[in-house]
Amino acid sequence: MIWPAVIIGSIGTYLLKLTGYVIPARVLENPALRRLTALLPIALLAALVGVQTFSVGTALQIDARLAGLAAAIIALILKAPFLVVVLVAAITAAALRATGLSV
């Protein structure tokens, strides 16, 4: 049952990669396209963080993940390295769950 999805996904990925070789260079050098491709990963990552922070299944839930996200934002504002930001967020969420202050 899953093999058709794997095969279709593989073919789609191959075709997407192939288009990178087929598209003319002048199209890829367009300033508007360059701005879009620079901002697209940021938007996708922000959407992923939002979904993973505030949802459980199809329900909205506020818990220790929000506190971890807030701690990560503070660490980013203080210009902490990425690994420190991740550790601060994880430790904050784990501490709140361990003390019973959050689910």
Q: Is the pLDDT of residue 103 over 70?
A: no
Average pLDDT over residues 24-32: 88
pTM, to two decimals? 0.66
- Tell which residue, 20, 22, 102, 38, has the closest CA to residue 65: 102
What is the number of other CB atoms lying within 10 angstroms of the CB of residue 88?
19
Residue pair 102/63 in contact by the 8 Å Cβ criterion: yes
pLDDT one-digit tens code per residue, 43-92: 999 999 999 999 988 899 999 999 999 999 999 999 999 999 999 999 99
Confidence grade of residue 28 (pLDDT, cut at 50, 70, 90): confident
